[in-house]
Structure 1
Amino acid sequence: MVDAALIKGCADPGLKPAIVEKFIAEAGADDPLAVTVRSGKRVVLVPKPSNPQEAMDLIRQHIGRNVVRVGITQYPAGLGVLEAGALKPDLVDACNNLRMGTALFAKIYRIVLKWYGNPTGEDLLPPVFEDAIIAWQTGYFEGEAVFRTPDPGKSEVAEPIRGGPGNEDAEKSDEFDEDEEREPANDPGRDGDLNKAGIRIDLSGIGAK
């Protein structure tokens, strides 16, 4: 479980701590140095890094040839990177990874929410969250490349009573398109900086008992 102080100090302020925990539990990793490599539908077995330098070396070995996800949020390492030399150690820094990942996930949630018609009913919000998780893992929602899709803007969201079912479609992450990762990392809609996104959304009720 991610440390509460880390979430408070580094996560997107528009996401409640409970939501950040749920996001990481379903789509992330406990280890800031976690590197996941996929080639098509196949998971490439790689050695577990023991320090940031080893993690960065591993990422550089596979970036551009395979899909690489990194850190606590399993952030797409190739997002906005044109060559391996442009990769920054921020990817394996717990705080920076959490900041980038939660900001990007909040945008993806808004994209999914808009597709649903910006519902406020308690019964619809958990499915919205689950679809946002799948979109995070695959890079796509309804055929749309969510990492480079413009942010639809702020939406008012009611608080659902409880979270939706488990994520049966996690295997869809195999379908993530490497080209999608190469979109500008600091460019959620080619209009702004993911790390400075000013539009937030309150998902505080998701997962509440």
Structure 2
Amino acid sequence: MLDALLVQQCADPSLKPAIVEQFITKAGSQDPLAVTVRSGNRLVLVPKPTTSEEALALIRGNLGRNTVRVGITQYPAGLGIVEAGQLKPEMVEPCENIRMGTALFAKVFRIVMKWYGNPTAKEVLPQVIDDAVIAWQTGYFEGMAVFRAPDPGEVKAPEAGGDESTIDAIEGSADSAGRDASMPSEDVAHSDDPNKAGIRVDLSGIGAK
């Protein structure tokens, strides 16, 4: 069970706690050391790390060859990394992972909200969340690479806090956006276009000279 206090202290303040909870439930992990590795649309079986050092070694060993997601939010480990030495050890620390993950998801959520026309009807919120979660899992929304796309800026989501009917609607939203080993990764969506390679980073040329 996700620690509500941890979410309150560490999550991006622009996201309602109910949205953060749904995001982590559908796309994240309860294990702060969780490392998910994919090669294309195939899940790669890797040993389960028991320490932060093991988790970081596992990430470094796969970064550049595979898509790597890490921690409670399953943050895209390769985002903004050009070499393995730039990897932040804090990525596997629970609070920092939640901070980084929810801040990035908040941008993805804003992108989806803008596409929907910034709706004010609370009934639309579950669908927006589901689409934002799918965009988080794949790295794409309507052909846009969401992790590298510009932030559309502040959008006003329908109020979830204090409205039980809205929260119930969120909690009852379809599970189709949940984690699924068959879900195509961000590397698959545009694998034929090196300029749209999602968060994958090719480090194969480092040290080759």
TM bucket (normalised to shorter chain) is 0.7 to 0.9
Number of the residue aligned with 1:167: 176
Deviation at 1:143, TM superposition (A): 0.5
Q: What is the CA–CA distance in structure 1 between the aligned matches of 2:7 and 2:63, rounded to whole Å? A: 28
| Amino acid corresponding to residue 174 of structure 1 in structure 2 | P
Structure 1 segment 155-194 matched on structure 2, within 5 A: 155-159=155-159, 161=166, 162-163=169-170, 164-167=173-176, 170-171=179-180, 173-177=183-187, 179-181=197-199
Structure 1: stretches of 5+ with no match in the other structure: 184-209
Kept in 2: contact 1:80–1:182 (CA 8 A): no
Aligned structure 1 segments of 4 or more residues deviating by more than 6 angstroms: none
| Of 53-62 and 19-28, the range deviating more from structure 2 | 19-28
Which structure has the bigger radius of gyration? Answer: 2
Paired residue secondary structure (1:14): coil
| Of 171-180 and 64-73, the range deviating more from structure 2 | 171-180
Deviation at 1:170, TM superposition (A): 4.8
User: Residues 115, 135 of structure 1: CA spacing in aligned structure 2 closer, same or farther, 3 A cutoff?
Assistant: same
1:96-132 CA-partner distances (Å, limit 9, x unpaired)? 1000000111110110011111111122221111000
CA RMSD after TM alignment: 1.8
Structure 1 segment 33-72 matched on structure 2, within 5 A: 33-72=33-72
| Amino acid corresponding to residue 141 of structure 1 in structure 2 | F
Q: What is the CA–CA distance in structure 1 between the aligned matches of 2:124 and 2:62, rounded to whole Å? A: 39
1:119 aligns with 2:119: yes
Aligned residues: 183
User: Residues 155, 29 of structure 1: CA spacing in aligned structure 2 closer, same or farther, 3 A cutoff?
Assistant: same
TM-score, normalized by length of structure 2?
0.82
Kept in 2: contact 1:134–1:170 (CA 8 A): no
TM-score, normalized by length of structure 1?
0.82
Q: Percent identity?
A: 61
Number of the residue aligned with 2:106: 106
Kept in 1: contact 2:131–2:177 (CA 8 A): no
Number of the residue aligned with 1:145: 145
Kept in 2: contact 1:10–1:95 (CA 8 A): yes
User: Residues 34, 169 of structure 1: CA spacing in aligned structure 2 closer, same or farther, 3 A cutoff?
Assistant: closer
Q: What is the CA–CA distance in structure 1 between the aligned matches of 2:85 and 2:177, rounded to whole Å? A: 36
Kept in 2: contact 1:38–1:174 (CA 8 A): no
Q: What is the CA–CA distance in structure 2 between the aligned matches of 1:170 and 1:50, rounded to whole Å? A: 22
